[in-house]
Amino acid sequence: MTGAPSPPAVTGSVPAALPQASLPPRVMGPAADPPRRSTSSDTSTEELSPALLGAIQQIVATALREHVCIAAPPRLAPPPEAEVLEEEGEEEAPVPVLPAGRRRDIPRPKPPEVPPQWLARLEHLQKGLQDVKYQIEGAPEDERQGVPFTETVMADELPLNCRTPAIAEYDGTTDPMEHLSCFENAALLHRYTDWIKCRVFVTTFARVAQQWFNHLPLGAIENFQEFRSLFLHQFASSRKLRKMELSLFAVRQKDDKPLKEYLQRFNTAALEVPAATQEVKASAFSQGLLDGDFFKSLAKKLVAKFDALLARAAKYINMEEAQAAKKETRGEKRKEIKEETPSKKPRVDLRERKPLSKE
């Protein structure tokens, strides 16, 4: 049919319904004749009236409304890497993962920067907790593996001529600062490195000090400065108290002692007060003198510096020693003369005496 217009294309929208009057009558029942198909020979362009075309469009629209539905969009399947965690008695809903084309690159916040000293402190605390946990579990002391030194300290090789310093052992009862000073002076002589100092310093421990070192956390000592601080902090109660300058004024010369003995005691006391000045020591020494020749000399001519006072005191010490030697010589001579000289009184023999007669 060349003259008949083509039917309109069916789209998602449904055309408006035509009025009922334009619809052809519909025959119902068995007596109704079956519709006859038109052929090209008996059908012409005049039979397709506008009313018939409208009816066909309405039938198609009704069929679309009743039998055609809009399909839902397909559900996105999770990618292979998405796993659903299932536990006993508890299921977690799978997290939908968008495909690569629909993912949104959400910028993640950067973690805050941690200062290096905090990281070092955290590592030290973790090592301490591990050591405490090891002790709580009841492991015997002789089963401890490792030493309190780090791998860096243990990796330094000892020189061929390395020798242990000839100093006294430290048992925790004496001043730790004195022992540390002796060791550091010996380390200068042997030219120990910082890490070798740590390993050699342990060889000077005994009894309580050795037990303290064995109980330190594993890997707690990284250098000698840290080892030094731990040592002084542990045995701080054994340190000698520093004396004040006023303690020098309590040193006095004894009545039966010479000037030399007083000077020796004063110098020993002054060594315990390193902060005392020359003027303070000179004043304290003068206050402790007895009323003698040297005190009178200082009263006539004052001496401000302690070094100058020592130079003058040396002269009087020599004088006292010379006088003491002279007195000792005189005493020996008198003793010899007394032994050699016989007594002038005649000796009376008591055996020759006669008993008194009784009258």
Which stretches of the chain score pLDDT less than 70? 1-48, 63-109, 111, 130-146, 331-359
pLDDT in tens, 26-53: 544 444 444 455 444 444 445 557 777 7
Q: Please give the Cα distance from 271 to 259 (Å, whole number).
A: 19
Query: Can you tell me which residue has the tokens 């070094």?
Result: 307
Encoded amino acid at 297, one letter: S
Question: Which residues face 90 on adjacent strands?
Answer: 87
Give strand ranges (E) for the chain: 86-87, 90-91
Please report the pLDDT score of residue 341 as a whole number. 60
Q: Which amino acid is at 219?
A: G
Query: Does the predicted model carry a pTM greater than 0.85?
Result: no
Please report the pLDDT score of residue 331 as a whole number: 66
**pLDDT number for residue 21:** 44
239: tokens are 């340190």
pLDDT for the residue 15: 45
Question: Which residue is it, tokens 């520093």?
Answer: 242
Q: Which residue has the tokens 């492991």?
A: 139
pLDDT for 17 equals 46
Closest-CA residue to 320 (of 292, 356, 348, 349): 292
Q: What pLDDT shows up at residue 298?
A: 87
In the chain, count H helices and then E strands.
11, 2
For residue 239, the model assigns a pLDDT of: 82
Domain ranges, ordered by start, for the chain: 146-238, 245-327
Under 8 Å between Cβ of 288 and 253: yes
In this predicted structure, what is the pLDDT of residue 322? 87
